[in-house]
Amino acid sequence: MKAYIFPGQGAQFTGMGKDLYDQSEQARDLFETANTILGFRITDIMFTGTDDELKQTNVTQPAIFLHSVIMAKELGSRFKPDMVAGHSLGEFSALVSAGALSFEDGLRLVAARANAMQKACEIQPSTMAAILGLDDYTVEDICQRISEIVVPANYNCPGQLVISGTVEGIDKACELMTAAGAKRAIKLNVGGAFHSPLMEAARVELQQAIEATEFKEPVCPIYQNVDAKPYKDVASIKYNLIAQLTGAVRWTQSVEHMLQDGATSFTEVGPGNVLQGLVKKVNRTIETKSAVI
């Protein structure tokens, strides 16, 4: 069974999507539609922008979404997923590619999500940190012992978790994680505490947009971040998508469940190959590859 996976924030690079734009009229039309919907020429930033320009949340999220979704459309009849999943933002790319959302509606939701998250970041100083070399239980236990808001945010692969919270809370957590034997505890250069209770304002704002958007049943199950389980019914998909902003990305568990349900290969659709590396950390023998047009 073929699993298709879609990357999230951090996979961006200067020049992303230019090959698609140059070689396909369909891709060009979709990119230009995106420029119109967003109200600025995101293609200019994607193709020739600086790293700093690409790092802006209101650019990064739609840029990665566009690269992933347009690549899936360019695969045409070769895109035949038995199951899909996306890491954080990538969940929107997966839903559009699997037919649950239109391209236009998906892009509008991603833009709304990026703007809502940016606003939430400005309410209180917050950040994230990668914790390497500790088991899940130890990380969870240390987070619970800190009085500040600190929670596991991304279960990326065994031995690699990202935590999210207030600046003071993350600083304290990094000290305790290192003392507990973490190989590394690295603060990340991000705008705020994504996938934590500090994103509540963004969740409320995005909820209104999601509830007002038409979703359809996808062509295959989508393994959603909040509980790593497969869904096809629209009501559950919407609920989980809203909960995702303040809940953890359970990527390790999603990959494990896809393997248990019969996945024999994982194809990453979009910029980079980060997710393939994470899949290999869960199962070294499984076939992984990047989508190629």
pLDDT in tens, 229-242: 999 999 999 999 99
Distant-in-sequence, close-in-space partners of 292: CB < 8 Å, separation ≥ 6: none
Element (H, E) at 5: strand 2-6
Question: In the prediction, which pLDDT does 56 show?
Answer: 86
Question: In the prediction, which pLDDT does 164 show?
Answer: 98
**Percent of the chain scored above 70 by pLDDT?**
100
Question: In the prediction, which pLDDT does 114 show?
Answer: 94
Q: Residue 249 has what DSSP assignment?
A: B
Spans in the chain with pLDDT lower than 70:
none
Of 67, 68, 87, 88, which residue is the catalytic one?
A: 88
What pTM, to 2 d.p., does this model score?
0.96
pLDDT in tens, 49-108: 999 899 888 899 999 999 999 999 999 999 999 999 999 999 999 999 999 999 999 999
Question: In the prediction, which pLDDT does 190 show?
Answer: 85
Question: In the prediction, which pLDDT does 191 show?
Answer: 83
- Cα–Cα separations (whole angstroms), residue 97 to 147, 166, 216, 281: 41, 35, 12, 25
Of 67, 87, 195, 257, which residue is the catalytic one?
A: 195
Q: Which domains are present in the chain?
A: 2-122+197-290 (3.40.366.10), 124-187 (3.30.70.250)
88 is a catalytic site residue: yes
Question: In the prediction, which pLDDT does 55 show?
Answer: 87
Whose tokens are 């700093």? That residue is: 52
